[in-house]
Amino acid sequence: MRRWIVLSALAAVLAIAVFGVVVAIGLGRAHTFAGVAAIPPSPAADFTLTDESGAAFTLSSLRGQWILLTYGYTSCPDLCPATLANLQQVKAELGPAGDRVRVIFSTVDPDRDTVDVLRTYVHHFGADFKGLTGSTAQVAQAAQAYGVSYQKSPSPGEVGYAVNHSAFVYLLDPQFRLRVTYPFGVASQEITADLQYLMAQDKH
Beta bridge partners of 103: 68
Give the CA distances from residue 73 to residues 25, 129, 132, in Å, rounded to whole numbers and listed in that order.
Answer: 38, 14, 10
93, 12: one domain: no
Q: Looking at the 3D structure of the chain, how many domains does it have?
A: 2
3-15 residue pLDDT tens: 333 333 333 333 3
The CA distance from 135 to 114, in Å, is 10
22, 60: one domain: no
Which residues form the domain of 52? 34-202
- pTM for this prediction: 0.84
185, 145: one domain: yes
* Banded pLDDT at 20 (limits 50, 70, 90): very low
24, 39: one domain: no
120, 177: one domain: yes
46, 65: one domain: yes
67, 24: one domain: no
Question: Do 105 and 49 meet the contact criterion of CB atoms below 8 Å apart?
Answer: no
41-73 residue pLDDT tens: 999 999 999 999 999 999 999 999 999 999 999
89, 24: one domain: no
182, 82: one domain: yes
User: φ, ψ for residue 166 (rounded to 5)?
Assistant: -70, 150
112, 169: one domain: yes
